Protein backbone atom coordinates (compact mmCIF):
# COMPACT_ATOMS: atom_id res chain seq x y z
CA UNK A 1 0.00 0.00 0.00
CA UNK A 2 1.48 3.32 -0.99
CA UNK A 3 0.87 6.72 0.63
CA UNK A 4 -1.69 7.78 -2.00
CA UNK A 5 -3.86 4.76 -1.28
CA UNK A 6 -3.71 5.37 2.47
CA UNK A 7 -4.67 9.04 2.08
CA UNK A 8 -7.47 8.14 -0.35
CA UNK A 9 -9.23 6.08 2.33
CA UNK A 10 -12.33 8.02 3.58
CA UNK A 11 -11.61 7.06 7.19
CA UNK A 12 -8.13 8.60 7.02
CA UNK A 13 -9.54 11.76 5.44
CA UNK A 14 -12.12 12.09 8.19
CA UNK A 15 -9.46 11.53 10.84
CA UNK A 16 -7.24 14.24 9.30
CA UNK A 17 -10.23 16.60 9.21
CA UNK A 18 -10.91 15.88 12.88
CA UNK A 19 -7.27 16.60 13.83
CA UNK A 20 -7.32 19.85 11.83
CA UNK A 21 -10.55 20.91 13.58
CA UNK A 22 -9.11 20.14 17.02
CA UNK A 23 -5.97 22.13 16.25
CA UNK A 24 -8.07 25.05 14.99
CA UNK A 25 -10.30 25.11 18.07
CA UNK A 26 -7.32 24.80 20.43
CA UNK A 27 -5.51 27.61 18.60
CA UNK A 28 -8.55 29.89 18.70
CA UNK A 29 -9.08 29.27 22.41
CA UNK A 30 -5.41 29.92 23.16
CA UNK A 31 -5.54 33.16 21.18
CA UNK A 32 -8.72 34.18 23.07
CA UNK A 33 -7.04 33.55 26.44
CA UNK A 34 -3.95 35.53 25.41
CA UNK A 35 -6.05 38.50 24.29
CA UNK A 36 -8.09 38.36 27.49
CA UNK A 37 -4.92 38.35 29.57
CA UNK A 38 -3.57 41.30 27.55
CA UNK A 39 -6.81 43.25 28.11
CA UNK A 40 -6.63 42.63 31.85
CA UNK A 41 -3.00 43.68 31.97
CA UNK A 42 -3.59 46.84 29.93
CA UNK A 43 -6.55 47.79 32.11
CA UNK A 44 -4.61 47.26 35.33
CA UNK A 45 -1.70 49.34 34.04
CA UNK A 46 -3.96 52.15 32.86
CA UNK A 47 -5.91 52.31 36.12
CA UNK A 48 -2.74 52.13 38.19
CA UNK A 49 -1.12 54.95 36.20
CA UNK A 50 -4.25 57.08 36.46
CA UNK A 51 -4.57 56.54 40.20
CA UNK A 52 -0.89 57.24 40.81
CA UNK A 53 -1.08 60.41 38.73
CA UNK A 54 -3.57 61.85 41.22
CA UNK A 55 -0.99 63.07 43.69
CA UNK A 56 -2.37 66.58 43.30
CA UNK A 57 -5.50 65.50 45.16
CA UNK A 58 -3.45 64.49 48.21
CA UNK A 59 -1.39 67.67 47.97
CA UNK A 60 -4.40 69.94 47.70
CA UNK A 61 -6.22 68.28 50.61
CA UNK A 62 -3.15 68.37 52.90
CA UNK A 63 -1.96 71.88 52.05
CA UNK A 64 -5.20 73.77 51.52
CA UNK A 65 -6.21 76.77 53.54
CA UNK A 66 -9.83 76.94 54.70
CA UNK A 67 -10.38 80.14 52.69
CA UNK A 68 -8.57 78.91 49.59
CA UNK A 69 -10.62 78.33 46.48
CA UNK A 70 -10.62 74.88 44.93
CA UNK A 71 -8.31 74.23 41.97
CA UNK A 72 -9.46 75.63 38.64
CA UNK A 73 -9.38 72.22 36.96
CA UNK A 74 -10.69 68.82 37.90
CA UNK A 75 -8.54 67.33 40.64
CA UNK A 76 -8.14 63.92 39.06
CA UNK A 77 -9.06 62.55 35.65
CA UNK A 78 -11.16 59.44 35.14
CA UNK A 79 -10.35 58.79 31.46
CA UNK A 80 -8.79 55.35 32.02
CA UNK A 81 -11.64 54.29 34.25
CA UNK A 82 -14.23 55.55 31.76
CA UNK A 83 -12.59 53.73 28.86
CA UNK A 84 -12.21 50.43 30.74
CA UNK A 85 -15.41 50.37 32.78
CA UNK A 86 -16.95 47.62 30.61
CA UNK A 87 -13.95 45.38 31.31
CA UNK A 88 -14.00 45.70 35.11
CA UNK A 89 -15.55 42.25 35.37
CA UNK A 90 -12.21 40.78 34.26
CA UNK A 91 -10.62 41.84 37.55
CA UNK A 92 -10.79 39.96 40.82
CA UNK A 93 -13.65 40.74 43.21
CA UNK A 94 -11.30 42.58 45.56
CA UNK A 95 -9.87 44.68 42.74
CA UNK A 96 -13.36 45.54 41.49
CA UNK A 97 -14.42 46.64 44.97
CA UNK A 98 -11.32 48.79 45.48
CA UNK A 99 -11.45 50.42 42.04
CA UNK A 100 -15.19 51.08 42.30
CA UNK A 101 -14.87 52.60 45.76
CA UNK A 102 -11.96 54.83 44.73
CA UNK A 103 -13.61 56.13 41.57
CA UNK A 104 -17.00 56.60 43.25
CA UNK A 105 -15.39 58.86 45.82
CA UNK A 106 -13.27 60.58 43.20
CA UNK A 107 -16.27 61.36 41.01
CA UNK A 108 -18.11 62.71 44.06
CA UNK A 109 -15.15 64.97 44.95
CA UNK A 110 -14.92 66.22 41.36
CA UNK A 111 -18.66 66.93 41.32
CA UNK A 112 -18.50 68.80 44.64
CA UNK A 113 -15.54 70.86 43.44
CA UNK A 114 -17.31 71.66 40.19
CA UNK A 115 -20.38 72.78 42.13
CA UNK A 116 -18.18 74.88 44.47
CA UNK A 117 -16.39 76.51 41.50
CA UNK A 118 -19.76 77.31 39.92
CA UNK A 119 -20.92 78.90 43.16
CA UNK A 120 -17.76 81.01 43.38
CA UNK A 121 -17.89 82.13 39.75
CA UNK A 122 -21.59 83.00 40.04
CA UNK A 123 -20.80 85.37 42.92
CA UNK A 124 -18.11 87.18 40.97
Whether the CB-CB separation of 80 and 50 falls below 8 Å is answered with: yes
* Residues 74 and 110: beta-carbon distance below 8 Å: yes
- Band of residue 19 on the pLDDT scale cut at 50, 70, 90: very high
For residue 1, the model assigns a pLDDT of 65
pLDDT at 66 over 60: no
Q: In the predicted model, what is the mean pLDDT of the chain?
A: 83
**What is the average per-residue pLDDT within 59-72?**
61
Mind listing the pLDDT tens digit for each residue in 24-64?
999 999 999 999 999 999 999 999 998 887 766 666 666 66
Q: Is 23 exposed, middle or buried (0-12, 13-18, 19+ CB in 10 A)?
A: exposed
Amino acid sequence: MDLFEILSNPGVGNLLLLFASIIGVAGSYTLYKIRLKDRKSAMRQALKAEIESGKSLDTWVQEKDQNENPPAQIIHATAAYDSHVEDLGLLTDEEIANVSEFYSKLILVNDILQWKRNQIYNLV
